[in-house]
Amino acid sequence: MKIARCVIANLAFICLLTFSSGGFSATEAAEFQSADAPAKSEQKATVEDIFNEGKKQLDNGQYEQAIKSFLKCIDRSPPDDGHLFLVLDNLGLAYTQGGHTETGIGYFLESIALAPKYVKSRGHLAAAYRQKGDLSSSISAGLEAIKVDPKYFLTYDEMWKSYAALGRQYGYDEELMLREVYYLERLFEFYPSYERQNPLALKELGYLSMHLADQLAKTSQVAEHARVFAKGISQMSENELKKFSAALKLPVDGISKEEKLKILEKAKARFK
């Protein structure tokens, strides 16, 4: 189904797509203390102090200092330390926020390997892939994070931003619009105050949901998977065509079209 391209780049969207730390809270130290590990020794207390100092440095934007602190934690910790996944996750954040995205991704993957159910590392991985511009990997990482914790709202934040970036880069089709609406609406359900934190996201949801509902009424008139392009296919270079073809292959999300249409109706109801 051919859909007119969503002209919403003028919504100052850059501020919505910036990378964030993923919402680490003051409970990080408690997570460090409560992870499965032997009883705290004098050496462990020293490592914990270094970790907490690294967290302060990270929060203050002192990325190089934070990296040194977290690397020191790793150096002083035994390989079977139950806290190591937290150190690796924060080290990934320090590298990513410091501009070394590829290195950060590697540490997020190490953290996930040690603690597969620690959803924050998966959310940070999705954000890092989006920052890198690898939107397909970002979406795949987000889908895995949702399997671990279906109500972790920061994952939904990453998902809609990745779909939005994909739509702005290549144009929207019906499926891409349905997906972005789905994750935006679910985000507002899980985190009602997000509207105040990011008011442009509500405008995005309103535009997409109303525009999509209008276009769905015309499905019999157009091809099912037609997509609107930034430029016509005939004007694309060979490399652009390859990128475009790759972008069309969205990872399977396991959500039926019926469920997405139900969420679309909920989204539309917000604007009546």
Q: Domains of the chain, with CATH numbers?
A: 9-17+25-269 (1.25.40.10)
| Predicted confidence (pLDDT) at residue 69 exceeds the cutoff of 50 | yes
| Predicted confidence (pLDDT) at residue 133 exceeds the cutoff of 50 | yes
Band (pLDDT 50/70/90 cuts) for residue 167 is confident
| Predicted confidence (pLDDT) at residue 41 exceeds the cutoff of 50 | no
Question: What are the pLDDT digits (tens) for 170-190?
Answer: 777 788 889 999 999 999 999
Predicted confidence at residue 62, as pLDDT, reads 97
Q: Which residue has the higher pLDDT, 215 or 177?
A: 177
The mean-pLDDT minimum among 6-15, 36-45, 161-170 falls in: 6-15
Q: Contact, 267 vs 185, CB < 8 A?
A: yes
3-state SS of the chain is CCCCCCCCHHHCHHHHCCCCCCCCCCCHHHHHHHCCCCCCCHHHHHHHHHHHHHHHHHHCCCHHHHHHHHHHHHHHCCCCCCCHHHHHHHHHHHHHHCCCHHHHHHHHHHHHHHCCCCHHHHHHHHHHHHHHCCHHHHHHHHHHHHHHCCCCHHHHHHHHHHHHHHHHHHCCCHHHHHHHHHHHHHHHHHCCCHHHHCHHHHHHHHHHHHHHHHHHCCHHHCCCCCCCCCCCHHHCCHHHHHHHHHHHCCCCCCCCHHHHHHHHHHHHHCCC
Predicted confidence at residue 7, as pLDDT, reads 34
| Predicted confidence (pLDDT) at residue 37 exceeds the cutoff of 80 | no
Band (pLDDT 50/70/90 cuts) for residue 27 is low
Band (pLDDT 50/70/90 cuts) for residue 214 is confident
Q: Which residues, 6 or more positions from 36, have their beta carbon under 8 angstroms from its beta carbon? A: 82
C-alpha dist (Å) from residue 201 to 12, 47, 121: 11, 40, 24
Predicted confidence at residue 55, as pLDDT, reads 97
**Cα separation of 168 and 134, whole Å?**
14
Band (pLDDT 50/70/90 cuts) for residue 257 is very high
Q: Is this structure's pTM higher than 0.85?
A: no
Token pair listed for 118: 């620690």
Handedness of CA 17, 23, 24, 25 (dihedral sign): positive
